[in-house]
Every structure is written in C-alpha cells, then in structure tokens.
C-alpha cells in the first residue's frame, strides 16, 4: 500500500486537489479504487499548520461532477487556518494547565516543608534551648543562696534576664508551631491562641464553633489554624477594633472557618494592588492547596469578613 493522500499532504505541507481520479497520475491503483468505491468525484486536502509543523490535514470529498472550485479551496484553507489556531490554543492551554498543576504540587510541598521546619525549630527551641536556659536559671538560683549580698544582687538580675529569655524562647516556639495543635486538635489550639492573642493585643475574640468531636486531617487543621492566625494579625494591625469573632462549622462535607470584625474595613480591589495583600494571598494559597476557597467581604467603614472553606474528603486525603 502506498502513502495515503492525507499522508502526502502532511509530508509535503502543501494543499492537494484530486479532480480527475481516474486519470490523475499521482494516484496509485489502490487510491483510485478507494475513491471510486466511496463514490466521490473529487478530493481536497489542506494542511493544518501550527508554525512550521503540520498538526493535521483537513480532508474534503465531494460527489459534485464539477469537483472543487477556487472558492472551495479558499473556504477549506480558511477552515484549516481556524483549526490550526484552535489546536495551538489547545496546546498552549494544556501547557499552562500542566504548569499550573506542577506549580500547585510545588506549592504544596513548600507549605509542607515550611510546616515541618517550623515544627522542628519549635521542638528544638523548647527541648534544647529551653532546657539549657532552665538549667542556667537553676544554677543561678543555687549560687545566689550562698553568695555575698553584692553577688546575690547580680545573680538576681541574671535570673531575671534568664527568665525573660525562657519566656521569649517559649513564645517563639509557640509561634512557630504550637504542640497543642498536634496533640489536642484545632479547637483546643485556637482557644489557647485566642487567649494569648487577647493578652497581647487587648482585642477580645469570641469563638463560635459547631464542629464534630472527631479530629480533622493534619493538613486541614494546620491550614485552618494558620488562616485564623493571619486574619487576626490583620485585625490587630489594621481594623482598629476592640473585639472580633471567629466562627467554625461544618456543612455539606465542608469545613468553614470565618474571622470577622466591625473595624475600618478596606477596598479589596485597592488592597489587592498593594503590598499589604500578601497575607490574603497566602491565605488563599493555603485554602487552594487543599481544594478549598477563601473569600473576603470588605468595604471601607464596614469591617471585614474572611471566610475559608475546605472540602473535608479532599483535605483528609491530602492532609493524611
């Protein structure tokens, strides 16, 4: 069997018109028999080109006795050009989609690595540095009992400095990754964090939650905790309020996490153009990595409501 007519167009990259199949010397017997058997009078093939590459062939057959006209050729060429554009757009879309998927995987790995590093540093601060400082404090206390009044005063000052260092190290460890989140779960970690937040900022936070007793996957608990943490940081920095509300609930197989204040608010479109939007971007990325979404309802003078939602089935698979 010889090369097909479409294959010939694809290999040459040039249009091909067969108007007299019975006498056309370019046809081999098998090709004539095929055209005759199908009952066609003429055949037209136009290459579909994307750049210098032939991506396909537009093949047209007719039973009209007059065959194809110049207008037919022009129309077929126009269709081939449109098909080439569509194929190129599809190829570019596929490349963009594949790149987006790779970026999503890399972003997920980056977040996982960051959380693992946070957890490791928190443990090192608490277990290693914290224990060393505690040992130093006990040593200073023992020395102070047998020291002269002058040395006792210096030892007391050193004890105060060590105590301050212990509290700072403990605070850094908790900021990096609270062990309570791993041990007791999302709600317990948030209760502890909100008490600490209020002591630091003087902003009262009301927690309203209606969650099941069972734990969520580690990934979703960490993401929800970080989103609440970031949203409350924004409240303290920008809202100018004395109170805020955190809500958590599940419905329809999804977990909802919401932080709301009645502060000065902002224009989301304007904020999205500035540097201050990095916190919102980070929250959106955390939600998206688990198949969720984050919405922001805000307006100048009307406060801000940040709501994240996570599909629990997807989050369980990814976070587990």
**Would 113 be classed as within a structural domain?**
no
CATH number at residue 54: 3.30.450.40
pLDDT tens track for 7-55: 888 988 899 888 888 778 888 888 777 777 777 888 899 999 988 889 8
Residue 174 lies in a domain: no
Instruction: List the domain range (segments joined by +) for residue 285.
Output: 184-319
240: in domain:
yes
In this structure, is residue 54 part of a structural domain?
yes
Structural domain count of the chain: 2
- How far is 320 from 83, CA to CA, in rounded Å? 45
Largest CA distance in the chain: 122
Q: 189 with 315, same domain?
A: yes
Co-location of 78 and 191 in the same domain = no
Question: Among 60, 95, 130, which residue terminates a domain?
Answer: 95
pLDDT in tens, 167-197: 777 777 667 777 778 888 899 999 998 998 9
What's the pLDDT at 186? 92
Cβ atoms of 218 and 180 closer than 8 Å: no
Write phi, then psi, for 176 (nearest 5 degrees). -65, -50
**pLDDT of the residue at 114:** 74
Indicate whether 199 belongs to any domain.
Answer: yes
Q: What is the CATH number of the domain that holds 219?
A: 3.30.565.10
Residues 82 and 209 in one domain: no
Q: Which position has the token pair 């940081």?
A: 233
Question: Is the domain of 80 the same as that of 203?
Answer: no
Q: What is the mean pLDDT of the chain?
A: 82
In a domain, 262, yes or no: yes
More confident residue, 111 or 182: 182
pTM given for the model:
0.58
Question: Beta strands 53-62 and 42-50: pairing type?
Answer: antiparallel
Q: How far is CA 179 from CA 119, 126, 167, 222, 254, in A?
A: 8, 10, 16, 11, 25
Torsion (CA) 6, 7, 11, 14 in degrees, nearest 10 = -10
Within this chain, do residues 190 and 85 fall inside the same structural domain, yes or no? no
Domain end position, chosen among 61, 95, 129: 95
In the chain, % of residues over pLDDT 90: 29
Q: For residue 278, tell me if it sits in a domain.
A: yes
Query: Is position 112 within any domain?
Result: no
Distance from the Cα of residue 92 to its chain's centroid: 21
Among 67, 95, 123, give the residue marking a domain's end: 95
């Amino acid at each position: 069997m010889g090369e097909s007519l479409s294959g010939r167009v694809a290999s040459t990259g040039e249009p091909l018109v067969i108007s007299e199949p019975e006498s056309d010397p370019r046809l081999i017997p098998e090709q004539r028999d095929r055209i005759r058997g199908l009952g066609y009078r003429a055949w037209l093939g136009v290459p579909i080109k994307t750049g210098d590459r032939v991506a396909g062939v537009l093949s047209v057959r007719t039973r009209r006795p007059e065959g194809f006209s110049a207008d037919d050729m022009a129309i077929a060429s126009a269709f081939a050009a449109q098909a080439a554009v569509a194929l190129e757009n599809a190829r570019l879309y596929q490349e963009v989609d594949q790149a987006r998927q790779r970026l999503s995987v890399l972003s997920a790995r980056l977040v996982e690595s960051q959380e693992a590093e946070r957890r490791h540093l928190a443990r090192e601060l608490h277990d290693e540095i914290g224990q060393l400082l505690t040992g130093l404090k006990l040593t200073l206390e023992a020395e102070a009992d047998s020291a002269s009044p002058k040395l006792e005063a210096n030892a007391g000052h050193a004890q105060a400095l060590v105590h301050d260092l212990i509290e700072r190290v403990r605070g850094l460890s908790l900021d990096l990754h609270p062990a309570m989140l791993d041990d007791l779960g999302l709600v317990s970690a948030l209760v502890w964090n909100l008490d600490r937040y209020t002591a630091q900022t003087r902003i009262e936070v009301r927690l309203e939650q209606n969650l099941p007793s069972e734990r969520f996957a580690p990934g979703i608990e960490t993401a929800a905790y970080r989103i609440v943490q970031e949203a409350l940081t924004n409240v303290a920095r920008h809202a100018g309020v004395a109170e805020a509300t955190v809500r958590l609930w599940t419905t329809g197989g999804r977990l909802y996490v919401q932080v709301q204040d009645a502060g000065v608010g902002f224009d989301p479109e304007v904020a999205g153009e500035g540097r201050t939007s990095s916190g919102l971007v980070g929250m959106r990325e955390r939600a998206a990595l688990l198949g969720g979404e984050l919405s922001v309802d805000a307006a100048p003078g009307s406060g801000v409501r940040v709501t994240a939602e996570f599909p629990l089935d997807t989050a369980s698979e990814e976070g587990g």
